[in-house]
Amino acid sequence: MQRPKLSICIPTRNRRLFLARHLRHISKFKNLDYEVVISDNFSSDDTATVAEAYRDELNALVYVRQQSPLNFFETQVAAVNNASGRYTICTSDDDLLVEEGLLRAIEHLDCDPTISAVYGAWEGWKPEDKQRAFKAAGVTKETRVQQRDLIHWYLNASTPELPIMRTDVLHKSHLPFQHQYGFDFYGAAMLTKFGDLLMIPDTTVRVTLHAAQESQALYRPDILQCYLADYELFFSQFAPFRGGVGSQMVMHVLAKQYIVAAERAIGRGAYLMGRDLLLRARVYLPDEADIRLAAIWKSHRLHFVAESIVALMTSMHPVERTFIESGPDTERVRDLVSAMRQDDVVLAGSRGDILAVRLSPNDLVIGADDSLRDVLADRFGFWIRKYRTLDSLEQAARIAPVNDLSVEDYLDKFSPVSTELPQPQLVAGAAS
């Protein structure tokens, strides 16, 4: 079998209608030499049937089903692992590829072996209106990006997305399986180790705008963590910052990105993730980050506590019921937790109310203080392992920075801990 020119990799999960539309669209391509690689992320619908229905209409079809659900980015890597074309693009199941733009990108790759990947423009598309909402173009003319241009590119360009990559370079530059999405700045930096990048103004993908698209959930904690880690992994490709004007500019931009991402995360209910991102921003832009930290804590203190309780309910599984002892904020916290976990039993009541219930080791208790745990242990005859206090959860989530000791003060006042290992004392007859 001849190697196809382009592998179109499509991760999908339980979205048979979007997948069918995408495959139907690809089947109308007239000039593109391609294969379609579908990575079915353990779908429970008839995704496999839909894929098979289009096998005869497509140039070539590779269907791979995962044995258990992967996260959003892992399934992208699983898709490209199965690519056999000379070039590869990975796109969502609800997007629509533009044949003319792909052919233009392939023409550049065919003509210039020193190019690792081509980044085209993409359009926000409203399928119900059959019209473009906007065009996200990184450049207005063809622009080459080399390794030495990466920092400048980061400071001045929009996030690089949806590259058409040389498959051999992709497989050499990316790990076979990884939790970090490797196709944005970090992925681009890895690709430049094997060749230059080319930015073109031609549209290669129409990204569907609708309520169910994956990007609507972009600031879920797992996806957000991958995207933000991308920035730091990108800078791991270079020597450490040395405090000059250039590095200050980079750190300022990086901090601004963290702040924007943190506010979006908090706006979507990912409070603990937003907190961590603001603390990252504080490393690079302390004054502005401190202002945001104080304002967000004032507005969302109880949301942080509630999300911490939800995290306990998840990590201490199984949790059959959650009891919150009465206090100044109990009712509000209970309502927030119930909204986040609508199918779980979350109850609030006085100490007497909780003592009147027959608890099991699978019940989570949030007490007003530690004394309730001892009372419950005496009453029920077992240690209440699934126990926290509201105050401890608030203190753990608190994002007020410690201002009475700077890094410089610490280095001046305290001796560094010795890292010398003691020499082993050998005795006669002991194994060396």
**E strands present in 66-150:** 87-90, 96-97, 115-126, 131-136, 143-145
Question: What is the overall mean pLDDT for the chain?
Answer: 84
How is residue 273 written in tokens? 């993730």
| pLDDT computed for residue 432 by the predictor | 34
* CB proximity list for 176: less than 8 A, separation 6 or greater: 77, 81
The mean per-residue pLDDT over the stretch 271-280 comes to 86
Q: Look at residue 199 in the predicted model and tell me its pLDDT.
A: 95
Per-residue model confidence (pLDDT) at position 171: 86
Per-residue pLDDT at 22:
96
pLDDT at 227: 67
Report pLDDT for 429.
Answer: 45
Position 270 pLDDT exceeds 70: yes
Between 128 and 54, residue with greater pLDDT: 54
Among 56, 58, 76, 55, smallest CA distance to 66 is for 76
- In this predicted structure, what is the pLDDT of residue 217? 53
For residue 427, pLDDT over 50 is answered with no
Instruction: Show the tokens assigned to 94.
Output: 């609800």
Query: What is the mean pLDDT of the segment spanning 241-267?
Result: 82
**Dihedral sign, Cα of residue 240, residue 243, residue 249, residue 255:** positive
Rg (CA), the chain: 27
Peptide bond into 318 cis (omega under 30): yes
328 contact partners, CB below 8 Å, separation of at least 6 = none
H helices of 54-131, in order, are 72-80, 99-111
Write the DSSP assignment of 191-202 as a string of letters: HTTSSEEEEEEE
Which amino acid belongs to residue 347? L
Place 402 in a pLDDT band, splitting at 50, 70 and 90: low
Residues 121 and 138: their CA atoms lie apart, in Å, by 6
Asked if 235 and 246 touch (Cβ cutoff 8 Å), the reply is no
CA distance 73 to 174: 13
In contact, 261 and 277? CB cutoff 8 Å: yes
Instruction: For residue 302, give Cα distances in angstroms to 130, 338, 346.
Output: 44, 13, 16
> Is this prediction's pTM over 0.85?
no
Of 99-113, 171-185, 238-252, 257-271, give the range with the top mean pLDDT: 99-113
Q: Specify which of 173-182, 290-299, 400-409 reaches the highest per-range mean pLDDT.
A: 290-299
pLDDT tens digits for 7-35?
999 999 999 999 999 999 999 999 999 99
Q: Is the pLDDT of residue 228 over 70?
A: no
Q: Are strands 61-65 and 34-40 parallel, antiparallel or unpaired?
A: parallel
Give dist(CA 303, CA 112) in Å, integer: 54
Cα separation, 193 vs 186, in Å, equals 12
What is the pLDDT, as a whole number, of residue 400? 63
The DSSP secondary-structure symbol of 421 reads P
Q: Is-contact 394 305, C-beta < 8 A?
A: yes
Instruction: Give phi and psi for 317, each to the nearest 5.
Output: -50, 135
Q: Exposure string (b/e) for 418-427, b if CB count within 10 Å is 16 or more?
A: eeeeeeeeee
pLDDT value of position 79: 87
Q: What is the mean pLDDT of residues 343-366?
A: 92
DSSP string, 179-229: SS--SSHHHHHHHTTSSEEEEEEEEEEEEE-STTSGGGGTTSHHHHHHHHH
| pLDDT band of 272, cuts 50, 70, 90 | confident
Res. 363 pLDDT band, cuts 50 70 90: very high
